[in-house]
Amino acid sequence: MHTSRDELPSQTLGEYEGRMTDAGEWRVAFERMPGHFPPDESLFKGLPDDRCQCEHLGILLKGSFKVTYSDGTSETVRAGDAYVLAPSHFVQTLEPVELVEFSPRDEHNRTLETVMGNMSSAPA
């Protein structure tokens, strides 16, 4: 499997841009996000602990983000870091970020289904 970020269609939500493709059981995502995105955990409401349950492996190319787990632990990931996010996490960018991330496709689909449902029911 071989792909280039620029070959994939762009999906946007405000200043968020994602370009994704599947490689077997894995989802490959090239993402750009503004600072302080998302603003709160409400997009994940309905998932266990109201947090993302999908494991992610990635490389942060630009910026930084804070990840907080349901047990209260947290850490900051900075540009140049490789990372693994365990289930039951919430990530918020501290500044604009650019990353490449790998996630199990089926769990990522379940998470996106909940997020999209929460977005469609949010007040305008």
At residue 123, the pLDDT reads 66
Kindly report the CATH number assigned to the domain that includes residue 73.
2.60.120.10
Q: What is the pLDDT of residues 2-12, one digit of tens each?
A: 889 999 999 99
For 55, the domain range is 5-99+106-121
| Mean pLDDT score, 13-19 | 91
Across the beta sheet with 11-13, the strand order is 11-13, 16-23, 26-33, 97-104, 56-62, 82-85
For the chain, the domain total comes to 1
pLDDT for 22-73, tens place per residue?
999 999 999 999 999 998 899 999 999 999 999 999 999 999 999 999 999 9
